Chains A and B, each alone.
Chain A
Amino acid sequence: MKNNISPFTKFRQSRIFWPLVALLLIFIFDGIYAPGFFKLGILDGHLYGNLIDVINNGAPLVLVAIGMTMVIATGGVDLSVGAVIAISAAMGAVLINPAFGNELISNDILTQNVSRTPLGLIVLANLAAGTACGLWNGFLVSRAKIQPMVATLILMVAGRGIAQLITNGQIMTIYYTPYFFFGNGYILGLPVAVYIVLAVLGLAWLLVRKTSIGLFVESVGINAESTYYSGISEKNVKLLAYTFCGFCSAIAGLILSSYVHSADANNIGLNYELDGILSVVIGGTLMAGGRFSLLASVIGALVIRTFTITMYTVGIPANALLAAKAVLVLIVILLYSEQAHKIINAVFERKGRSKDAKN
């Protein structure tokens, strides 16, 4: 009985099953209430439509979710991702035009389509800033032994302040068009952000499945003491997870600032930490740490984005969106509870049994 598990049962027990079910439910809802949701068109040689919006808009959240998954799997949490996004965005804007925020410079210099720093260097600086933030968090958690929630809260609060310092308190509008490539560009008809996400996901997958890091991260999340006794440096594992999360947030900041053509230290990436955590939770990784699935978290992030866009499409006013989201969260959490699983599994098993009987 144990040996011949049907492919469907295997799929049903895999981590991506429930997030996919959630996504499917939203799609079904769309199919009924938002005709045209799935319509794809071609404009100027690239695809457009709600689904493309989901992927393009959702890219930063997906990136944050990937980083957050690693951190949560070690049994921690990173509240600073939104602030890191702001720092990364501010870094980009300020390097494009260091004169920003200087009131003596006239407007036409500011709005020039030029950059004072080569684009490659800007990207590097973005990533370096975010990675450094992650390293800082990792240091506080692994070496200073501060509780993750408290340690990252420090940067969550301070990060936006740092971003303001970088931008001199201004909302910086970016006029340098090559920078828009990351958020608005297209390659072969698909948004550039999609390729970036795929690249990061690929990198993360390599890290967790082709090296022993994934195993160590899970092991630390389940039982840090046993892991240490086995000769694994739990400190370095945690340090790596937070650093990687900072790196992912930095890329998210790059895409977001490129997408909205500006860096607003107070509002860019707002609430991303919460959506990021929610994505991971929808992806089925326990907040206590342990077993995780990157793909499931990615789908979790897509669920959130799809839901948001769906709500806009069916005409829910923006001010009611948070309430609607709360309902989604409630449903998801209920679906994930042990009780619900028991009931659902029982239903499936009964079906399976009656099928066997017929055969």
Chain B
Amino acid sequence: MSNPNDEIIRLEGICKNFPGVQALKNVDFCLRKGEIHALVGENGAGKSTLIKVMTGVERFDEGKITYDGKEIVIRSPQHAQNIGISTVYQEVNLCSNISVAENLLLGREPRKLGCIDWKAMNKRAKAIMQDLDVDIDVTQPLGSFSTAIQQIAAIARALEISSPKVLILDEPTSSLDAHESNLIFKVMRKLCSAGVGIIFITHFIKQVYEISDRITVLRNGKLVATHETASLPTIQLISEMIGHSLAEYDEMKKSEFVVNHKKALLEAKELGRKGMVEPFDLELHAGEVVGLAGLLGSGRTEVVKVLFGIDEPDNGCLIVDDQLIKKHSPFEMIMHGVALCPEDRKASGIVGDLTIRENIILAIQARLGWFKFLSKQKQYEIANKYIKMLNIATPSSDQLVKNLSGGNQQKVILARWLATDPKMLLLDEPTRGIDVGTKAEIQKLVINLATEGMGCVFISSELEEVMRTSHRVVVMREHEKVTEFAGEVSEREIMQAMAGGE
């Protein structure tokens, strides 16, 4: 276990300003040898900036860093790596089309007579992976392995390159299930018993408690506190992270929804598309929240994509507001009062280099067409209304969206759709990768919208969220709608349906 006197790196009084915001205010942080130190905080709390300072990506304005007993200046990521500070980012930065061995030893391949000695290389790679207790065929392309293995390969590469004393893991488990996360944890434990100090960034509170020795909480660029994990109750941790108590979750109560046997707002009959989702039936009524539960890749996303016309269905029919949809396209669905918040915020949600205002009016402008251009004044009016309503943290609506934190970006996309005044809202993982406070806000918003008569489809990987918000839960498995639960249902029942076993 870690020894308090064995500090590897210590940051004192770190300040960092970006134009318009102070990202870090007087933050202290220290990492001991052989400890797993969790760094937690909401989006925009300053975690990433702190990491960037530590790895030489950003220069800090004030403060000092002591590494291995000496005060140093970290000049560049390369420099950081050379002195033993390695980072593995959330997105795997390796090439999925070449073999694991090549990935691990890229640029430092063992050579024989000037050519790559493949045999030695594969052997070496195998040994590296076995060191981390992973026994796989390293000659297979990296992409053929699960994300967890890819993540471990990324860690292995970081270790191979510089045998670091400090290893920073930025949300390594964000797209992994519990079993896969355990694989990563095993590797982490092994490394810290070898004396490596690990900084672990995650949004999963449960994992923080499972693996970390100490916890540092940041909020709004300031250090809140550093605790020994064992002596910190969860409730205190969460309230430190979000700054207010979690009462919000308790007061959230879904409106009583009575199935009125009036016509459904949206009705899918045998709707499906080959290779994406098997034909399914789905009804959505006004004032109802339908949850879509299922594992990643179970076909949840495909359901809403087909509904929204991103991918044209090749089977069945879709009736919206008593009208049969003939032409399937996002534009057509918007005209029918349907909106979709897509799963991948960066790739298909935000338009990064446009301002918040422009992002918000994009869909409403699409609806109005080319020649009914909203006046600047009207644009500001709409943008400011939703910035206020959704509590988007920004100095002005003229900020570029890419400069916002993940949660605020999500709110901008929500605003874009709410501005079109939809009757039906399809939400694909609206709470993914955002902080606890914003998660609660978004769930509350969904419930409120439904109370006001909107029909919502809510997808989330967190079953708890689905159950909290939905009146009805549809379970997907292997691209097929398996079953549907209405009314009170236990988590266990849904999980069983998701897993498919007894």
Q: Which residues from chain A sit less than 8 Å from chain B, CB to CB?
A: 2, 210-213, 215-216, 218-219, 222-223, 225-233, 290-291
Contacts and interface: CB of A to CB of B under 8 A. Distances in A.
Nearest to A219: B351
A75 B331 CA distance: 22
Interface stretch (B84-92, B165-173, B365-373, B436-444): B365-373
The 10 A-B pairs of least Cβ separation, nearest first, read A231-B366, A231-B334, A231-B331, A232-B366, A231-B330, A222-B353, A230-B363, A212-B373, A230-B362, A225-B348
A222 B363 contact: no
A231 B20 contact: no
A232 B329 CA distance: 10
B352 A222 contact: yes
A222 B353 CA distance: 7
Nearest to A209: B373
A2 B330 CA distance: 39
A222 B400 CA distance: 12
B350 interface: yes
A291 B362 contact: no
8 contacts: A212-B368, A212-B373, A216-B365, A216-B370, A218-B353, A231-B330, A232-B362, A291-B353
A229 B350 contact: no
A215 B371 CA distance: 12
Contacts of B333: 231
B369 A225 contact: no
Given A219-B351, A223-B350, A229 B368 contact: no
Interface string B473-488: 0000000000000000
Contact of A229 (B348, B365, B367): B348
B126 interface: no
A210 B371 CA distance: 8
A124 B115 CA distance: 65
B367 A231 contact: yes
Contact of B366 (A2, A210, A222, A230): A230
Contact of A2 (B365, B368, B395): B395
B310 interface: yes
A210 B352 contact: no
Most buried by A among B20, B331, B395: B331
B333 to A, nearest CB: 8
Given A229-B310, A229-B340, A231-B334, A215 B350 contact: no
Contacts of A232: 331, 362, 365-366
A231 B328 CA distance: 11
Contact of A233 (B331, B340, B352, B353): B331
A223 B416 contact: no
Given A230-B362, A232-B331, A219 B354 contact: yes
A213 B373 CA distance: 9
B407 interface: no
Nearest to A213: B370
Contacts of A215: 354, 358, 362, 365, 373
B130 to A, nearest CB: 41
Interface in B366-398: 366-374, 395
A65 B286 CA distance: 51
Given A2-B395, A228-B330, A232-B362, A212 B350 contact: no
B358 to A, nearest CB: 6
A242 to B, nearest CB: 16
Interface string B17-38: 0001000000000000000000
Given A210-B373, A211-B370, A232-B366, A226 B351 contact: yes
A212 B379 CA distance: 12
Contacts of B330: 228-231
A230 B349 CA distance: 8
Contacts of A227: 351, 362
Contacts of B247: none
B258 interface: no
A12 to B, nearest CB: 14
Nearest to B330: A231
Contacts of A231: 329-331, 333-334, 363, 366-367
Interface in B295-352: 310, 329-331, 333-334, 340, 342, 347-352
B416 A230 contact: yes
A232 B350 CA distance: 14
Nearest to B369: A212
A218 B352 CA distance: 11
Most buried by B among A213, A216, A223, A228: A223
A339 to B, nearest CB: 14
Nearest to A237: B370
A339 B30 CA distance: 33
B347 A226 contact: yes
Most buried by A among B333, B342, B362, B395: B362
Contacts of A213: 370
Nearest to B332: A231
Contacts of A228: 310, 330, 348
A199 B330 CA distance: 36
A229 B331 contact: no
A4 B368 CA distance: 35
B314 to A, nearest CB: 20
Nearest to A288: B353
Most buried by A among B333, B354, B368, B369: B354
A233 B327 CA distance: 14
Contacts of B368: 212
A50 B305 CA distance: 60
Given A212-B365, A229-B330, A230-B362, A222 B347 contact: no
Contacts of B352: 222-223
A179 B94 CA distance: 62
Contacts of B365: 212, 215-216, 232
